[in-house]
């Protein structure tokens, strides 16, 4: 029971399922969701203050501020990964220490506005790039050395679309936890 609750808190929308095939319709829906994410995120956190940003979404999990900064870090990396997959032969992901990045001062204490701008900019740039891709571009691949997995560009796009929804759900838990424990 406790394990299931932890799993639900860690993955409130479920885990990403690798190995699926993506139709052009799936890709177009992911493009729309990906493009809309920054506005949806801004609407959620626009009026958050330091008190709510300091709330964790679960015991042992990041606080709201760290989740937002992680989204910026991750999605900035995602832009590099997409471009690498599209132009490099034998493309390979460069992993980064996301847990350690979340502990750095800018993520642990910094203002969220620059990260919201990064997310907005990265999503705008990638949405523009996505609109220019041909069907065969979505089949290009990139290797992730930590997971030893090869992602197609279509699957990578689905992963980062899921990633936004995943952490948005964490931020909704932050909001819920803040409301439950507000004095």
How much is the average pLDDT of 30-45? 98
Decide if pLDDT at 2 tops 60. Answer: no
The phi, psi pair for 149, rounded to 5°, reads -125, 145
The predicted structure's pLDDT at residue 85 = 98
Best CATH choice for the domain 33-181 from the list 1.20.120.450, 3.40.1050.10, 1.20.1270.10, 3.40.50.720: 1.20.120.450
Chain centroid, CA 120 distance in Å:
12
On the CB side of 71, how many CA atoms lie within 13 Å of its CA?
A: 33
Decide if pLDDT at 20 tops 50. Answer: yes
Rounded (10°) CA dihedral 144, 112, 110, 16:
-20
The predicted structure's pLDDT at residue 180 = 87
- Cβ distance 127 to 39 under 8 Å? no
The predicted structure's pLDDT at residue 124 = 98
Q: Where are the domains of the chain?
A: 33-181
For 72-131, the pLDDT digits (tens) are 999 999 999 999 999 999 999 999 999 999 999 999 999 999 999 999 999 999 999 999
Decide if pLDDT at 3 tops 80. Answer: no
How much is the average pLDDT of 132-149? 97
* Dihedral over Cα of 130, 131, 132, 135: its sign: positive
The residue ranking higher by pLDDT, 40 or 2, is 40
Average pLDDT score over the chain = 95
Decide if pLDDT at 1 tops 50. Answer: no
On the CB side of 134, how many CA atoms lie within 13 Å of its CA?
A: 2
Question: Whole-model pTM?
Answer: 0.95
């Amino acid at each position: 029971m406790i394990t299931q609750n932890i799993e639900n808190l860690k993955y409130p929308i479920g885990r990403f399922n690798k190995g699926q095939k993506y139709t052009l319709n799936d890709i177009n829906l992911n493009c729309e969701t990906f493009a809309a994410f920054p506005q949806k995120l801004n609407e959620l956190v626009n009026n958050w203050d330091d008190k709510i940003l300091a709330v964790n979404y679960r015991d042992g999990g990041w606080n709201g501020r760290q989740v937002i900064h992680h989204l910026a870090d991750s999605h900035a990396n995602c832009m590099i990964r997409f471009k690498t997959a599209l132009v490099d032969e034998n493309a390979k992901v460069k992993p980064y220490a996301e847990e350690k990045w979340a502990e750095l001062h800018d993520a642990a204490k910094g203002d969220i506005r620059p990260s919201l701008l990064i997310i907005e900019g990265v999503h705008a740039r990638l949405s523009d790039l996505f609109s220019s891709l041909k069907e065969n571009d979505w089949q290009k691949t990139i290797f992730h050395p930590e997971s030893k997995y090869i992602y197609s560009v279509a699957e990578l796009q689905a992963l980062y679309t899921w990633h936004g929804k995943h952490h948005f759900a964490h931020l909704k838990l932050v909001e819920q936890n803040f409301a439950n424990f507000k004095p």
